[in-house]
Amino acid sequence: MNRTDNVWTVVTVSENITEAAVIDGFTISGGHANGSGANEDPGKSGGGLHALGHPAVRNCHFEQNYAAWRGGGAYFVNTDGLTIENNSFVHNESDNLGGGLNVESDSSKLLAIRECTFTDNAALRGGGLNIQNADCTVEDCTFLYNLTPQHAGGMRYDATAGGQSIELKGSYFEGNASSFGGGFFFEARSDNNSFTISDCRFTENISTNLQPGWGQSGGGAHITDWPNTENNSYLMRDCEFQRNTSTGYGGGLSTFIAGNGSNLEFRNLTFLENSSDAGSGAMDVTSDFATSYGTVLIDSCHFEQNASDFIGGLAVYAGYEDAPSGEYSVTNSTFIANEGREGAPYTLEQ
């Protein structure tokens, strides 16, 4: 299909439009934002929908839209009170961020994304969904077979402004692929952010060599806490990882935590039949608390039939030899029939 002579953006929304306006029940397709102007303009972002305002968007279908910069299906830059619910994003693509949907802000703004489906979308990062800087809830969404070469086949969140509150709950990730974080990739590049992930399922996602020269980590999901950040917290609870794979580290879940005073809690997680070529088949936790004390708690988790060339179940790496100590706890957890070349169901290393 040749879409190069199509309209750049199918629908544009001006900045004075609020949530009182509703876009409901439309099919939006065929946008091809490969035009001129600044990267954030309709000529290059938001092939299906480009919004400077924040209307409610419900019951719409975004299919086969393209953007040379961000938001192949839809692109939003003002999230104050934005609600996006019961929409589908299928076969959309962008060359940069957010193949299906890209939402970004420069501060804490309210954002709710509910009951949306992201299928077969592609981008450099955030194949299905990319969010930057919003107090947001992503709830009861489905991410299927989305693709990126770098970060987050399914969903990416990037906290650059600080003080963000992010909640992902009740969502399903299957068959997504990326170098880092096949299902999702969350990263904090600022201070005092709070991430909560609950009641989610990750099935047959993959972290593999899709970007030449890059490593691979986190078949189901990956979390990064950047150096020189402070006091970020991460809670993951009541989630299931099954048959996810990584050609690098952490078949199910991986983390790299390098901020100061970061706190991680993993409660009631289940890891079944995940695998990796390095590190742990189920879960890799790598932390390097640079200048202050941090904590890692793994409680009431179940690791069964995971496999790796190294550690079958759980690997916790406690930083470099000259790094300050943190507190690491593994409690009330079970390890059954995990397989690793080094033989141990779990390991703690420094």
345: closest CA among 307, 319, 318?
Answer: 307
Ordered DSSP codes for 131-146: EES-EEEEES-EEES-
> What's the whole-model pTM score?
0.95
Q: To which residue do tokens 């949530």 refer? A: 19
Per-residue pLDDT of the chain (350 residues; tens, 9 = 90+): 556 666 789 999 988 888 889 999 999 999 999 998 888 888 899 999 999 988 999 999 999 999 999 999 999 987 777 899 999 999 999 999 999 999 987 655 689 999 999 999 999 999 999 999 888 999 999 999 999 999 999 999 999 888 889 999 999 999 999 999 999 999 999 999 999 999 999 999 999 999 988 999 999 999 999 988 999 999 999 999 999 999 999 999 999 988 888 999 999 999 999 999 998 999 999 887 665 678 899 999 999 999 998 899 999 887 655 555 678 899 999 999 999 887 666 666 54
- Judge contact between 57 and 49, C-beta under 8 A: yes
Q: What are phi and psi of 20, to 5 degrees?
A: -65, -25
**CA-to-CA distance for 328 and 205, rounded, in angstroms?**
28
> What's 70's DSSP letter?
B
Sorted by where each begins, the domain ranges of the chain are: 11-349
CA neighbours closer than 13 Å in the CB half-sphere of residue 345: 12
Count of residues making up the chain: 350
**CA-to-CA distance for 229 and 120, rounded, in angstroms?**
34
